[in-house]
Amino acid sequence: MARRSLSLSSRIFFYMILLVVLASILIAAVTIYQYKEQSQDYHRLRLERKEAQLISSINYVLKESSWEIKTENLGIIFNQKIYEIANIHNVAFNLYDLEGKLIKSSKPWLDNDPVPQQLDVLILDTLDQISAKRFVEKNKLLDGNYRSSYLILTDSFSKPLGILNVPYFDDDSLNSVELREFLVRIGFAYVLMVLVAIFFAYIMSKFITKSLKAISDKMYQTRFEKRNKKIAIEGASTEIKALVESYNNMIDALEESALKLASNEREQAWREMAKQVAHEVKNPLTPMRLSVQSFQQKFNPEDKDIYKKVEEYSKTLIQQIDTMSKIAEAFSSFAKMPTQNLEHLDFVEVLEHALDIFPDAVINFSSQKKPLFGDFDRDQLNRIVTNLVKNAIQSIPEDKIPKIQVLLSEKSSRIYIKVKDNGCGIEDAIAEKIFEPKFTTKTSGMGLGLPMVKNIIEAYGGSITYKTTLGKGTLFEVSFPKKQTPYAVQ
């Protein structure tokens, strides 16, 4: 099953919405990342400030102490001072000697949070290796929210005394609340922005494809047999203008081709008509020539039957001249219908008179109602009926009794004439050709009867159709409006 592709306007609409959604997701991701980075910077700087405050207080205590400033005396010097410093700065800290052994802690001993009595060798090695003599360890056991800084304490002569350890807990609860509130607010803003984007995307997609829709409609209405209008679009983009110009150029080329084709078709039609006229005229001319030549050869003024022979030759010539006259009349009738003379006729009366020339035993005429009035040309109505009935009779084989039914009816302000025969029917091979000029299945005739009938009916806004069954017969149905106006009939 073929996949149904989206229209250009739908694709523009969805791509614009997708762009807004992706931009919203990207902004939200950048916002969360920025909050986390700000939080990390805040805790890093806060820890550094606390370290600086503690070192300042520790140095002051060391300066004011009466004890000798060395590692072994740190426990005595800070025996009580460590608690005062911790209370002043509201921060807990630990003092270790240079070997990593705990000297003093400002925190009480707790079972669930014991102070390490000995620093890890890795920490001591790290402090030895780095020049800053400061190391911050993040405790992964607490999801990275707990960090401890280790800093080498020195005396006034920059001689190492011990290790300052400042435990620090990254409390992000406030930032998390603020982040959630911010995301909720920005979420409402995004929803509103998406709704506005949907509206503008719909308007923009329609605006962008409006020109293409106009071009598409014009192309759909383009027909070879009629004059097509060019497209005029104001304010279109360069690409659309190029497309419109290509279409307008195509219309010019199409119109030029149509004119050439129409001219060629007219010339071809006249050539064919001239050939047909020449052929039909030659048929009676040949016997006329032979008759005249025979008369010249056999003419004898002394022959006692001379007047009788002259009369016979005259009749032959008159007969052939009448044939030529009928040929000329038939071609004239087909090429250009006489001017219609609209009359308010009783169709029942006209059809009865038209059918009088045919044997009563052959024709069965019936009408839905009597009288049945309508607007038509009397002579052309006679021509339609006689042609259809004559064709019906000629379609019946000699070994079959002719039965022709002519039905007259009215429905929905239209008049219907049906002629049904019991003839041979119309074969599929010739069904599409019966209304073409010059086509005939009879040994005599010029094939202009049905085309002429069709021209007359269509001139009155009517139609002619047929249904046929091989071996059983054919039904021709003619219909046209009951009321006619002089301007409608051409």
DSSP result, 340-406: P-EEEEEHHHHHHHHGGGS-TTTEEEEESSSS-EEEEEHHHHHHHHHHHHHHHHHTS-TTS---EEE
Residue 14 has pLDDT above 50, yes or no: yes
pLDDT at 269: 64
| % of the chain residues with pLDDT over 70 | 72
Q: Which residue has the higher pLDDT, 367 or 270?
A: 367
The C-alpha atoms of residue 186 and residue 128 are separated, in whole angstroms, by: 48
Judge whether 417 lies within some domain. yes
Pair type for strands 373-377 and 342-346: antiparallel
Bigger pLDDT: 146 or 113? 146
- What pLDDT, in 10s, does the model give residues 83-118? 989 898 888 899 999 898 999 888 765 545 577 888
Domain extent for 244: 238-335
Helical H segments across 65-120, by residue range? 74-77, 81-89
Calculate mean pLDDT across residues 61-82.
87
In the predicted structure, residue 140 carries a pLDDT above the cut 70: no
CA distance 178 to 306: 136
- Residue after which a domain boundary falls, among 148, 175, 202: 175
pLDDT tens, 301-321? Answer: 777 777 777 777 777 677 667
Per-residue CA distances from 48 to 56, 130, 376 (Å): 12, 17, 112
Which of the residue ranges 209-213, 232-236, 318-322 would you say has the lowest mean pLDDT?
232-236
pLDDT at residue 478 in the model: 93
Q: Residue 325: inside a domain, yes or no?
A: yes
So what's the pLDDT on residue 42? 82
Q: Residue 405: pLDDT band by 50, 70, 90 thresholds?
A: very high
Phi and psi at 423, nearest 5°, equal -85, -155
pTM value is: 0.40
Contact residues for 163 (Cβ-Cβ < 8 A; gap 6+):
95, 96, 97, 98, 100, 119, 127, 150, 151, 152, 153
Mean pLDDT over residues 313-331, rounded?
A: 69
328 with 352, same domain: the answer is no
Q: How confident is the model at residue 156 (pLDDT cuts 50, 70, 90)?
A: confident
Of 72-81, 146-155, 309-318, the least confident: 309-318
Is 337 a residue whose pLDDT tops 60?
no
27 pLDDT tier (thresholds 50, 70, 90) = confident
Is residue 352 located within the same domain as residue 308?
no
Is residue 417 scored above 90 in pLDDT? yes
**pLDDT class for 487, splitting at 50, 70, 90?**
very low
Co-location of 319 and 349 in the same domain: no
Instruction: Assess whether 392 and 441 both reside in one domain.
Output: yes
Question: Which stretch, 154-158, 225-229, 293-297, has highest mean pLDDT?
Answer: 154-158
Domain final position from 292, 309, 335 = 335
- For residues 477 and 430, membership in a common domain is answered with yes
Structural domains counted in the chain? 3
CATH of the domain at 58: 3.30.450.20
Per-residue confidence band for 274, with pLDDT thresholds at 50, 70 and 90? low
Q: Report the pLDDT value the prediction gives residue 488, as an integer from 0 to 100.
A: 47
82 pLDDT exceeds 70? yes
Residues 346 and 385 in one domain: yes
How far is Cα 160 from Cα 98, in angstroms, rounded to an integer? Answer: 8
pLDDT digits (tens, 9 = 90+) for 179-202: 788 878 888 888 888 888 888 877
Beta bridge partners of 148: 137, 167
Alpha-carbon distance of 212 to 214, in angstroms, equals 5
The answer to whether 136 and 149 have CB atoms below 8 angstroms apart is yes
User: CA-CA distance, 281 to 287, in Å (whole number)?
Assistant: 11
Q: Which residue has the higher pLDDT, 337 or 482?
A: 482
Listed range (149-158, 159-168, 275-284) with the worst mean pLDDT: 275-284
Task: Among 335, 366, 400, give the residue marking a domain's end.
Answer: 335
Mean pLDDT along residues 235-262: 71
For 350-385, give one letter per residue: b (16+ CB within 10 A) or e: bbbebbeebeeebbebebeeeebebbbbeebbbbbb
Let me know if residue 421 belongs to a domain.
yes
